[in-house]
A and B are shown apart, each in its own frame.
Chain A
Amino acid sequence: MSLFSPSAAVPVVPAERSPGYWSLVLRRLSRDKVAMIAFVVILALVLMAIFAPYIAPADPYKSSMLRRLRPIGTPGYPLGADELGRDMLSRLIHGARLSLMMGILPVFIAFGIGSVIGVAAGYIGGRFNALTMRTVDVFYAFPSVLLAIALSGALGAGIFSGLLSLTIVFIPPIARIAESVTTQVRKIDYVEAARASGASGFTIVRVHVLGNVLGPIFVYATSLISVSMILASGLSFLGLGVKPPEPEWGLMLNTLRNAIYVQPWVAALPGLMIFITSIAFNLLSDGLRSAMDIKA
């Protein structure tokens, strides 16, 4: 946050320090029960993804023609078996890896790129802004589902093309939010005062603009994680994105769809995971939004 690196040894009497903005935000967030539950759920999912090989009771790829579509509670198959007789529990645990990655990574990269585009357009303004934002609007005009399908259709199936097309889908909305908050901040007197002090545009953005715009942009971005997960699942479902036999919740939903009349509960499990995860990200995002809204 500070303009000065903490390593700069200052031979000045230490002054009383107030807690900074972000420590206040974290303190408020930690008092928000719903957000904390969501946070614990997400943490659990992330840990599950990281340690999947150690937690999963069986090999998620090992199929068995004899044990196809077993119900929940079958001995050795606590959550049943899928259409190829693979252990559902192990596949769900391993599925968290790809599903979380497809949910988080595109949003994360789009947050970086979209912020750069939006902040630059908002701060520079004028013709540059008009040109940049009209270009962004062209992409924004497409419904995100169609754009994701079209892009990944063009790029071909696969994890990488799925990630890339989702990233491209999320850059325009993030750039638009970034542009609008930056345009607001740019007009505030402290930015004027910084300009009057002779600082370069780059320094002003670094010290005075980013600290006031990245928070709101980030909150918006976190609300897109659930959308990204659902879109990623949709791509897998359509045969774009992740390919079999990789465990991924959207793809699992797809391959189990014929079993919906035979083992409806087993077939619904991947959907339940997607549902829980996206709800958790949305609740945490809402909590963060209200925690950041500190009235002076």
Chain B
Amino acid sequence: MTEALMTHETAGEAPSADRPLLQVRGIVKHFPLKGGLFGRSTGTVRAVDGISFDVRKGETLGIVGESGCGKSTTARLLVDLITPDDGEIVFDGRKLGRDLTLTELRRNVQMVFQDSYASLNPRLTLEDSIAFAPAVHGMTDADARRLARELLFKVGLEPKRFAGRYPHEISGGQRQRVNIARALALSPKVVILDEAVSALDKSVEAQVLNLLMDLKAELDLTYVFISHDLNVVRFMSDRVMVMYLGEVAEIGPVDAIYAKPAHPYSRALLASMPSMDPDSRTEAVVLTGDPPNPIDPPSGCRFHTRCGFAEAVCSREKPLLHARAAQGHSAACHVGGVDTGHTLSELPA
């Protein structure tokens, strides 16, 4: 009995030993704000400010947060489209820049962008767009082309009809399928989906989400799924990471966070989510106003300017991520921490 339970536990956790497929360690990206005479730097946007997380093999990690909290910057850091100021990226136990080359990282980690039209070169046929990456990595033109057609078929587009078409001739949903095919052309292990379905109509969105689920099962993929739609994130993800102003507010299993968020920000975010079930809608906490400016973020806990539970300690000391009741669930809030100086030991219901 216990043995069966344990095997189930480990199987559900991390299939390849206990090593996560992708590890992010304290990455930082500050953008200098250019302005004034001679393009002098007049400040920095602290877009991503020291975040760490793991992506386990075979899971989907959802990333949520308000606009401008650094989701896309995180995604672009993961594929090194922008180089971090600090921190490290470890893929399959190998650290980028030490025993993992950029080429290897890019073969294994691919990305799908939000804007399906801007993501495809308008002068290339769909087939040529998909075949580009494999050809770059040394595949012969004929093989790359054959692969492109197989991939078109895999994402549900009849190769004979679509291979020779140009991006403007097909619909948004079809274009996003092509972008997915393009991302899969190097047989990556991890695919980062940055708002990949956000621009699509609801019915098309559902079809593309189903396609993503099917591809994940068939090709043994791992996803990082970024979206502002909390319902979609719940549907897609195994674990969720909530970001606020370039930092991780909370991370954990999707069920734990959606049922009992440990960070007041996650709670407010979830409360503002349009519920499928009208009876369970809460009026309790709603986020007011815009997030503060990432150029000059608030001291201590960055959420204290909008938090209903903020106390003196919150603006003084930065709360660190620490474990919560559920397995693998942690949040960065003084409430519920050990000896934090906050008077509450649990968020009130």
A residues whose Cβ falls under 8 Å from a Cβ of B:
1-5, 8-13, 15-18, 20-21, 130, 188-190, 192-200, 203, 207-208, 211-212, 296
Contacts and interface: CB of A to CB of B under 8 A. Distances in A.
A212 B128 contact: no
17 contacts: A10-B142, A10-B145, A11-B146, A12-B142, A12-B149, A16-B160, A18-B165, A20-B123, A20-B166, A189-B113, A190-B129, A193-B113, A193-B119, A195-B81, A197-B137, A198-B107, A198-B186
A199 B136 contact: yes
B125 interface: yes
B57 interface: no
A200 B76 CA distance: 18
Contacts of B115: 189
Q: DSSP class of A's interface residues: helix, strand, loop or mixed?
A: loop
A193 B81 CA distance: 9
Interface in B110-133: 110-111, 113, 115, 117-125, 127-129, 131-133
B135 interface: yes
Contacts of B253: none
B154 to A, nearest CB: 15
Contact of A193 (B117, B166, B182): B182
Given A3-B124, A189-B113, A189-B118, A196 B106 contact: yes
B161 A16 contact: yes
A197 B163 contact: no
Interface in B126-171: 127-129, 131-133, 135-137, 140-142, 144-146, 149, 159-169
Nearest to A198: B106
B80 to A, nearest CB: 8
Contacts of A203: 136
Interface of B: 39, 76, 79, 81, 102-103, 106-107, 110-111, 113, 115, 117-125, 127-129, 131-133, 135-137, 140-142, 144-146, 149, 159-169, 179, 182-183, 185-186
A16 B120 contact: no
Nearest to A212: B123
A194 B123 CA distance: 14
A180 B230 CA distance: 39
Contacts, number: 123
4 A-B pairs with the lowest CB-CB distances in the bound complex, closest first: A197-B133, A15-B163, A296-B168, A17-B164
Nearest to A210: B123
Contacts of A197: 106, 110, 132-133, 136-137, 185-186
Contact of A196 (B81, B127, B131, B144): B81
Given A4-B144, A21-B123, A189-B113, 12 more contacts: A3-B128, A4-B141, A12-B149, A15-B159, A16-B165, A18-B125, A189-B119, A193-B119, A193-B182, A196-B79, A211-B124, A212-B121
Given A3-B135, A195-B81, A190 B118 contact: yes
B169 to A, nearest CB: 6
Contacts of B166: 18, 20-21
Contacts of B163: 15
Contacts of B149: 12, 15
Contacts of A200: 136
Nearest to B117: A296
Contacts of B118: 188-190
A8 B141 contact: yes
Contacts of B128: 2-4
A203 B145 CA distance: 18
Contact of A21 (B119, B122, B127, B182): B122
Contact of B111 (A10, A130, A196, A212): A196
Nearest to A199: B136
B142 A8 contact: yes
A72 B41 CA distance: 69
Nearest to A13: B160
A15 B160 contact: yes
A196 B192 CA distance: 11
Contacts of A130: 39
Contacts of B129: 190
Given A1-B123, A15-B160, A17-B164, A194 B132 contact: yes
Nearest to B78: A196
A288 B79 CA distance: 40
Nearest to B136: A199
Contacts of B142: 8-12
Contacts of A3: 124, 128, 131-132, 135, 141
B100 to A, nearest CB: 13
Contacts of B125: 2, 17-18
A30 B121 CA distance: 26
Nearest to A185: B121
Contacts of A15: 127, 149, 159-164
A267 to B, nearest CB: 49
Nearest to B183: A193
A16 B106 contact: no
A12 B150 CA distance: 11
A242 to B, nearest CB: 40
A8 B162 CA distance: 20
A240 B25 CA distance: 68
Contacts of B119: 189-190, 193
